[in-house]
Homo-oligomer: A and B are copies of this chain.
Amino acid sequence: MKVGILGYGNLGRGIESAIRQNDDMELAAFFTRRDPASLKTLTPGVPVYSVNDIAAHKDEIDLLFLCGGSATDLPVQTPEYAKYFNVIDSFDTHARIPEHFANVDKAAKESGHVALISCGWDPGMFSLNRLYANCVLPEGNDYTFWGKGVSQGHSDAIRRVEGVKDGKQYTIPVESALEAVRAGKNPELTTRQKHTRECFVVPKEGADLNKIEQDIKNMPNYFADYDTTVHFISEEELKANHSGIPHGGFVFRTGVTGINKENKHVIEYSLKLDSNPEFTASVICAFGRAVVRMAKEGMTGCKTVFDVAPAYLSPLSGEEIRAHLL
């Protein structure tokens, strides 16, 4: 299958390298809002086109990976490009998913394409685990923890604080909370009891460190509801030790079965990721294969990970997956 990438940030680059690990996919084109000549990709043989000319390539590509952001790019791009292509995105603004789904569904149905939205690990693999586990254990409790990992939004928030030159924020699940959930204790956990926040901050010269620390710790929405630690470090140290984008997390479902609900069960799914965007890209790549197959079978409209039979994700045949993975 021939695939294209629109947007060449962290996610687009992740898709580019994920495609190399999937032999049945051929990267046919990059599309960009920048000057195409300015884009230095890692796959020099593949043409880079302006997004303005994208419709002209509609018959050359089986699937377009949309690698824009959820805030302003995808709400426009996904319905727009579903007119011309089978598409997949990583839309993750939770509250706006119903609206995004409706817009994309309309466009994809009218044009006869499949468009899969909200793919990645959360939403994505975590969502699948929540769904499966809820169906298997209808009476129980859900817990999702994130980290240890870099939160882009919280790192951005730190960098907006007066006196801060640069910074990185890690979200860390509270170990005792994980253990209580894992032990089937069904704890009720406040925001503060679930995660801590650890900040590595490079101050500007002469900045008031105490004021920076208080400004961060008391920032509403981002830090005030958490136990937050602030470390001041040098620019070199930030670069040497905190330039990666690791992430991960845990999804639990704990529930009961039995005629008297006497038996307890714990389902746990966890991810430990060196690179958040590359893993997200790898999930999207696998679901991209499914999108192309579903479109070939004549399906149309907007889909989510919930609508994809797992067999569509695999390059192997039904016989092979039954023999090797069942």
Q: Is A135 an interface residue when CB atoms closer than 8 A count as contact?
A: yes
Q: Is A4 an interface residue when CB atoms closer than 8 A count as contact?
A: no
Q: What are 25 A-B interface contacts by the 8 Å CB criterion?
A: A17-B257, A21-B257, A101-B322, A125-B132, A130-B325, A131-B321, A135-B289, A135-B310, A135-B314, A184-B272, A257-B279, A258-B275, A258-B278, A264-B274, A265-B271, A265-B275, A266-B270, A266-B273, A267-B269, A268-B272, A304-B322, A306-B309, A306-B321, A306-B325, A307-B318
Given A264-B274, A274-B265, A305-B310, verify A283-B321 contact (CB < 8 Å).
no
Chain B residues within an 8 Å CB radius of A55: none
Is B97 a contact of A323 with CB atoms below 8 Å?
A: yes
Give the interface size class of chain A: 35 or more
Q: Bound complex: CA of A269 vs CA of B128, how far in Å?
A: 12
A interface, over-half SS: helix
Stretch at the interface among A136-144, A172-180, A223-231, A233-241: A136-144
Q: Bound complex: CA of A234 vs CA of B130, how far in Å?
A: 43
| Chain copies in the assembled complex | 2
Q: A residues 270-307 with Cβ under 8 Å of B?
A: 270-275, 278-279, 281-283, 286, 289, 304-307
Q: Is A94 an interface residue when CB atoms closer than 8 A count as contact?
A: yes
Is A265 a contact of B286 with CB atoms below 8 Å?
A: no
Q: Which residues of A contact B (CB under 8 A)?
A: 13-14, 16-18, 20-22, 42, 94, 97-98, 101, 118, 123, 125, 127-132, 134-139, 182, 184, 257-259, 262-275, 278-279, 281-283, 286, 289, 304-311, 313-315, 318-319, 321-323, 325-326
